[in-house]
């Protein structure tokens, strides 16, 4: 317990693993690394909302069930706390990137019951980063993507004044045209859902590992577009490995901005006008196709 009587990361790790704690260090505001007496180290993460912990734990287990891209093992969860194995980090390499692409294709191919389907045991009202995210299943990707991934964040950004009233029509027009812009229909893929570079750890074992998912059933191009949006080491090699296993439909590069609308609007809600301008640019480019 801390001086205020609130349980800290070390006490949480000891309680959930049943081991004695030998040391701990803070990695970030909500994340700590805790060393145990059996030689292991674990990650202890605290969330403000219990639903966020449930969603992340269920997402990690669902991704692990695909036996594709490695993810940390969930050791336990309790209220606002999540404890997982620690991934020892190394360096990105072209070899690991090609393998990651192949493994990501296998993860997507593991599928989902529907677009928007939550992981088994995960809450319908989940999170992407610090933003609420509803996992409401739908059968039609263009309609589902508009209703549950683009428009809610557009409205939230407009309510905050981050997107100006006259600008909302640009994104709304993209949503209206999604059936013609979305490309060939695809089955629901098993998505990581928040696949920016910071959630890809290049392990000391030579593999890429996935952490911090916002997992749900979605379109596989959305994960790939997020890797493109925030940068990923050896990205073209990742994509080559992916396409060796699962070729992408013609025109996929032209659809990258369409799939980036969702994370850009989430970031506009959380972090402000700069991301709103990027989202509007992506929307205008999609309409110009």
200, 241, 182, 144 alpha-carbon torsion, rounded to 10°: -40
Judged against a pLDDT cut of 90, whether residue 79 lies above it is answered with no
Q: What is the CATH number of the domain that holds 256?
A: 3.90.1200.10
**pLDDT level of residue 52 (50, 70, 90 thresholds):** very high
CA angle 87/109/76 to nearest 5° reads 35
In angstroms and rounded to an integer, the radius of gyration of the C-alpha atoms of the chain is 19
Judged against a pLDDT cut of 90, whether residue 190 lies above it is answered with yes
Do 202 and 143 lie in a common domain?
yes
Q: What is the CATH number of the domain that holds 18?
A: 3.30.200.20
Do 161 and 218 lie in a common domain?
yes
Do 81 and 104 lie in a common domain?
no
- Give domain status of residue 185, yes or no: yes
Domain count, the chain: 2
The reply to whether 194 belongs to the active site is yes
Domain that holds residue 37: 9-85
Per-residue pLDDT averaged across 204-213, rounded?
Answer: 97
Per-residue pLDDT averaged across 137-161, rounded?
Answer: 97
Do 276 and 170 lie in a common domain?
yes
How far apart CA 236 and CA 31 sit, in angstroms, is 31
Do 268 and 197 lie in a common domain?
yes
- Among residues 194, 205, 240, 250, which one is catalytic? 194
Judged against a pLDDT cut of 60, whether residue 169 lies above it is answered with yes
> Given CA atoms 73, 75, 81, 86 in this order, what sign does their dihedral have?
negative
Judged against a pLDDT cut of 70, whether residue 2 lies above it is answered with no
How far apart CA 9 and CA 24 sit, in angstroms, is 8
Which of left, alpha, beta for 39 (phi over 0: left; psi -120 to 50: alpha)?
Answer: left
Closest CA to 282 of 167, 111, 158: 167
pLDDT at 49: 87
Tell me the β-bridge partners of 128. 131
Per-residue pLDDT averaged across 63-70, rounded?
Answer: 98
pLDDT at 4: 41
- Give domain status of residue 127, yes or no: yes
pLDDT at 3: 40
Alpha helices, H only, 85-219: 94-109, 141-145, 151-159, 168-181
- Give domain status of residue 3, yes or no: no
The pLDDT tens digits for 230-244 are: 889 999 999 999 999
Mean pLDDT, all residues of the chain: 95
- Give domain status of residue 112, yes or no: yes
How large is the greatest C-alpha to C-alpha distance in the chain, in angstroms? Answer: 60
The pLDDT tens digits for 105-131 are: 999 999 999 999 999 999 999 999 999
Per-residue pLDDT averaged across 156-162, rounded?
Answer: 97
The pLDDT tens digits for 235-280 are: 999 999 999 999 999 999 999 999 999 999 999 999 999 999 999 9
pLDDT at 1: 43
Do 217 and 252 lie in a common domain?
yes
How far apart CA 280 and CA 274 sit, in angstroms, is 10
Do 128 and 192 lie in a common domain?
yes
């Amino acid at each position: 317990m801390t001086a205020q009587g609130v349980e800290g990361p070390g006490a949480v790790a000891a309680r959930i693993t049943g081991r004695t704690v030998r040391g701990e260090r803070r990695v970030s505001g909500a994340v700590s690394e805790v060393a145990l007496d059996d030689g292991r180290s674990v990650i202890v993460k605290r969330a403000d909302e219990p639903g966020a912990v449930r969603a992340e734990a269920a997402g990690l287990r669902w991704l692990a069930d695909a036996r594709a891209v490695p993810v940390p093992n969930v050791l336990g969860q309790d209220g606002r706390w999540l404890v997982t194995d620690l991934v020892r980090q190394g360096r990105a390499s072209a070899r690991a990137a090609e393998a990651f692409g192949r493994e990501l294709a296998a993860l997507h191919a593991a599928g989902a019951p529907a677009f928007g389907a939550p992981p088994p045991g995960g809450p319908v009202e989940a999170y992407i980063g610090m933003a609420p995210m509803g996992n409401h299943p739908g059968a039609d990707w263009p309609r589902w993507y508009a209703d549950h991934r683009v428009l809610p964040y557009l409205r939230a950004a407009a309510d905050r004044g981050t997107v100006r009233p006259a600008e909302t029509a640009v994104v709304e027009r993209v949503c209206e045209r999604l059936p013609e812009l979305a490309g060939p229909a695809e089955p629901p893929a098993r998505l990581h859902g928040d696949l920016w570079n910071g959630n890809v750890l290049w392990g000391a074992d030579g593999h890429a590992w996935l952490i911090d998912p916002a997992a749900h059933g979605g379109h596989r191009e959305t994960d790939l577009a997020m890797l493109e949006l925030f940068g990923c080491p050896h990205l073209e090699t990742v994509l080559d490995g992916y396409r060796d296993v699962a070729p992408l439909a013609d025109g996929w590069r032209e659809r990258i901005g369409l799939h980036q609308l969702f994370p850009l609007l989430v970031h506009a809600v959380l972090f402000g006008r700069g991301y709103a301008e990027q989202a509007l640019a992506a929307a205008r480019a999609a309409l110009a196709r």
